[in-house]
Homo-oligomer: A and B are copies of this chain.
Amino acid sequence: MTYCLAIKLNAGLVFVSDSRTNAGVDQISTYSKMHTFGIDGQRQFCLLTAGNLATSQGIVNQVKHDINQGMPMSLMTMKNLEDAADYVGQVSVMQQQKTGGGPDFEASIIFGGQIQGAPPDVVLIYPQGNHISTSSTTPFLQIGESKYGKPILDRIIAPDTALHTAVLCGLVSMDSTMRSNVTVGPPIEVLAYATDSLVLKNRLALDEDSDYLRELKRNWDARLKDAFRSLPHPAWASAWDHPVENPGSGG
């Protein structure tokens, strides 16, 4: 399994991905799911993959090949991010067709970045090759094991959130997912792209032994428990603890 997410802010884009892949519980490996392409000052892209590992690697290899061979259609030639997303979607569909297709060979992709002269953007590319964007009310996209980590994103992320806050929120979202699903695991990769910077330099990989990840996990667990403990207990439920002395179940 996999968990990857991207957040679109006024301040820029944040990408977070785990690195665990598995084909059965005894075939667990570590592969980076975060791939970047670009020319400083002109265009920058980040691509996150979830799904079949061979398909995912095939997509990344084809995208690289088209750039390196100077093909007429590549991430370096696309006029806008919309066209670039369509191109990546086509590459994905072609890679899946190589195997005859079917759900086992599908891959989902988060793809984002910026081309000089246009604003940054990020999209989710479905296995069928089409894609969706974020919205101002849901300024994030997720692929893979997305449910455990969604509630905190829902509560915290807004378009005016600061880059570093979104990075922290993305890591908390990843922490919740790792806690509930063993097939999502470190190294956790983080990339923060600042709007109009047109360089990718804010990238970090936090591995299993990362003091920061361990500290974040401990901190968030303690703070969540404190938050829960500080909730007012409903009087009707407190009465339920004393079934003999207090027979009321009133509300």
Contacts and interface: CB of A to CB of B under 8 A. Distances in A.
A150 B219 contact: no
A156 interface: yes
Of A155, A169, A190, most buried by chain B (CB within 10 Å of CB) is A155
A204 B239 CA distance: 13
Contacts of A225: 155-156
A102 to B, nearest CB: 18
A221 interface: yes
A228 to B, nearest CB: 6
| Secondary structure of the A contact surface, majority rule | helix
B156 A231 contact: no
Contact of A237 (B150, B192, B240): B192
B154 A180 contact: yes
Contacts of A168: 228, 231, 233-234, 237
Contacts of A220: 227, 231
B163 A151 contact: no
Interface in A197-251: 197, 199, 201-204, 212, 216, 219-221, 223-228, 230-234, 236-238, 240-241, 243-244, 247, 249, 251
A241 B172 contact: no
A234 B212 contact: yes
Interface in A136-151: 147-148, 150-151
B237 A163 contact: yes
Interface in A150-171: 150-152, 154-156, 162-165, 167-169
A179 interface: yes
Contacts of A152: 224, 228
9 contacts: A151-B176, A152-B224, A163-B237, A167-B234, A168-B233, A216-B231, A219-B231, A220-B227, A224-B224
